[in-house]
Structure 1
Amino acid sequence: MKKYTLETLKKENELFDSYYGLDESDVEKVNRIIEMIERSRSIDVIQKYDVVEYTNEYGEYFPKATATMKRGENIELCENAGVHLSICDSKLCGSVSGGAFNHHKENEFAYKGMSSNTFWTWGNAGACANGGIYFTATVNLWECNDNKEMFSQKTHDKYYLSYRKAENNGDYQYFASKAGMNNYAWRTKEDMQAWLRTKRAVVTEKNTWGGAVIWTYKEIEHHLSDIEFDALNAHEDIFLMNGSKRRCKRVYDDKNYILHTYFVWYWEDDTQEFYTRMNNQNKIIDSYEVDYRKNEVNKIALEELRSGIVKPLEVKFN
């Protein structure tokens, strides 16, 4: 049974179809490539184009890495791969863009089950702008773990903590960055420590670049109505959002390293017309904003630190 029909392939390739028009030759080509991929799988040994849940030595997690080359027992792995496939002399051939690339032995991969992977090929218009057709095929799923850190991004968030002495009073001095971008900043060490406590952070000893690597719980935000929020049995805290301070409630899942943060934000309500609903909800949402000057962010953590219930984390800056 063919995986794609003309209609189902169009749904996944609306851009190509709007430019050039998909036809049955595209469907035939895609289904032929899928057939060649899927019949070459093995649960005993990883194959080219299989999906890998990969954790590198720095704890960075890539849930959809791709095996892009196999030579004997040597496997090339791409953490974020774009894979182009075509049929050359009745054989499957392709090219890969993306990165980073690293190399492993096939015995470093553990079979986990089945998954899907996304590929692309040139359509009936040939190699041209917007001429690629995208499709998915069923492949095997493997795991490869090179992690040398205390945790990994599979279960935690990883930040780089740094310090820059403020030139003026009131300037930010402490920064937490993730994926090369500054995500959080604080003026005082106490505010930084309150955030670390709220996020259940752990500081590693790696400070060779002048800062510290920290691992925190993953945070999941939940939008609630005012009725749902008021009924939730959880500790109330304050968090910063869009330049305002708002009430929230927090629940910790220590088993899975997750911080659940609940706050009043737009919710479904089919009983009112859209603009009426938005106007009414905006008023309710605004009522959960607190006075910026009189209230402190992460107040629960601040109280714990000030009372001595918890100790500040030791963070060394070179």
Structure 2
Amino acid sequence: MSEVTKNKYTLETLLPLNVSYDRDRILIQQDVDMVNILVEVIEGSRSNLIPKVGDRMHHVDRDGDFYRYALLENFLADKMLVCLAQYVPFVSISDPDIWLSVSGGPFTSIDPTEMKFIGWEDGVFSAWEHCGPCANGSVRFMAKVAKWEYIAPEPLYGDFTTETWRKLYIRINENPESRYRYVANGTAFRDDADFDRFKKNYEATVFNHSESMLVIWCFRERHISTFYRIELQPITY
């Protein structure tokens, strides 16, 4: 179990997370008190042995798609319902700990026994505050939650994942009048020679997806900007 933070926030420390709310609704001590109660309930219910609602997860599906901030949303019929790409969840106190209202997706369900604990991290939550449910009426805050990892069995592409590799779905264009033989999201290749150069330059590995589709795993591009500090002599007249 992680350590529970008592009175984590003050008006001064909660304000930077809620500038827009403060402008429209005015952040008050009542909001701070409610947030601190929620933080204590969330952090006091965490475990490094049992996945809990509100925890976060590194999730890798069979297609190799990596989700860094998947959210454990609900526990149903011995499975944990997981939102892979969620918006900031709304939280309220429930029995025995918390209840979430989550939007986003996609959703999947996972056996909690297949999740591996990998550490602790601050998770972002939101809650309706003194104005109740209304436009821009929620306050955001952070509470320490457990971090888990799940890697789906029988991956389609071995150890390739989008955490470290670029994945492209390449459509094979059979139209002889088309300018491009291979077409992907954001790029295209005129002919086999053009495609082969790309594969060589990016050390690509090719998988057959279907008769008209390939899946390519290759190096990512990384653009680095370099700034130079130039000392100039002062101008004198």
Same fold (TM over 0.5): yes
Match of 1:34 among 33, 39, 45: 39
| CA distance in 2 between partners of 1:199 and 1:107 (Å) | 38
- TM-score, normalised with respect to structure 2: 0.85
CA contact (8 A) 1:116 1:138 kept: yes
Aligned AA (1:27): V
> Equivalent pairs: percent with the same residue?
29
Match of 1:201 among 197, 204, 208: 204
> Relative contact order (C-alpha < 8 Å, sep 6+): which is higher?
2
Structure 1 residue ranges without an equivalent (≥5): 177-181, 225-266, 273-318
Q: State how many pairs are aligned.
A: 222
| CA distance in 2 between partners of 1:91 and 1:113 (Å) | 20
Find the counterpart in structure 2 of residue 191 from structure 1.
194
Helix, strand or coil at the partner of 1:111: strand
Query: How far apart are residue 90 of structure 1 and its match?
Result: 9.2
| CA distance in 1 between partners of 2:176 and 2:229 (Å) | 47
| CA distance in 1 between partners of 2:21 and 2:46 (Å) | 29
| CA distance in 2 between partners of 1:163 and 1:54 (Å) | 30
| CA distance in 2 between partners of 1:61 and 1:163 (Å) | 26
CA contact (8 A) 1:118 1:136 kept: yes
Find the counterpart in structure 2 of residue 25 from structure 1.
30
Going from structure 1 to structure 2, the CA distance change for 1:136 and 1:166 (only over 3 Å counts) comes to farther
Match of 2:102 among 96, 113, 125: 96
CA contact (8 A) 1:51 1:140 kept: yes
**Superposition RMSD on alpha carbons, in Å?**
2.1
Going from structure 1 to structure 2, the CA distance change for 1:166 and 1:269 (only over 3 Å counts) comes to farther
| CA distance in 2 between partners of 1:160 and 1:68 (Å) | 30
CA contact (8 A) 2:41 2:93 kept: no
| CA distance in 2 between partners of 1:163 and 1:269 (Å) | 48
The structure with the greater share of residues assigned to strand is 1
Match of 1:130 among 132, 136, 145: 136
Find the counterpart in structure 2 of residue 52 from structure 1.
57
Instruction: Tell me, yes or no, if structure 1 residue 5 matches structure 2 residue 10.
Output: yes
Match of 2:75 among 53, 70, 77: 70
| CA distance in 1 between partners of 2:138 and 2:195 (Å) | 47
CA contact (8 A) 1:207 1:213 kept: no
Query: How far apart are residue 166 of structure 1 and its match?
Result: 5.7
Helix, strand or coil at the partner of 2:146: strand
Aligned AA (1:201): A
Instruction: Tell me, yes or no, if structure 1 residue 110 matches structure 2 residue 119.
Output: no
Helix, strand or coil at the partner of 1:206: strand
Aligned AA (1:167): E
Residues 93-134 of structure 1, C-alpha deviation per residue, up to 9 Å, x if partnerless? 321111111111111101111112111111222211222211
Match of 1:269 among 229, 232, 235: 229
Aligned AA (1:60): D
| CA distance in 2 between partners of 1:114 and 1:12 (Å) | 21
CA contact (8 A) 2:92 2:98 kept: yes
Residues 73-104 of structure 1, C-alpha deviation per residue, up to 9 Å, x if partnerless? 32111101231112368963321111111111
Find the counterpart in structure 2 of residue 158 from structure 1.
167
Match of 2:215 among 205, 213, 216: 213
CA contact (8 A) 1:51 1:116 kept: no
Query: How far apart are residue 72 of structure 1 and its match?
Result: 6.2
- TM-score, normalised with respect to structure 1: 0.65
Helix, strand or coil at the partner of 2:125: strand
Find the counterpart in structure 1 of residue 183 from structure 2.
175
CA contact (8 A) 2:70 2:86 kept: yes
Going from structure 1 to structure 2, the CA distance change for 1:154 and 1:90 (only over 3 Å counts) comes to closer
Structure 2 residue ranges without an equivalent (≥5): 1-5, 233-237
CA contact (8 A) 1:161 1:212 kept: yes
Which is greater in Rg? 1
| CA distance in 2 between partners of 1:73 and 1:117 (Å) | 24
| CA distance in 1 between partners of 2:96 and 2:196 (Å) | 62
| CA distance in 1 between partners of 2:97 and 2:164 (Å) | 40
Instruction: Tell me, yes or no, if structure 1 residue 81 matches structure 2 residue 86.
Output: yes
Could you list the runs of 4 or more consecutive aligned residues of structure 1 that deviate by over 4 angstroms after TM superposition? 88-91
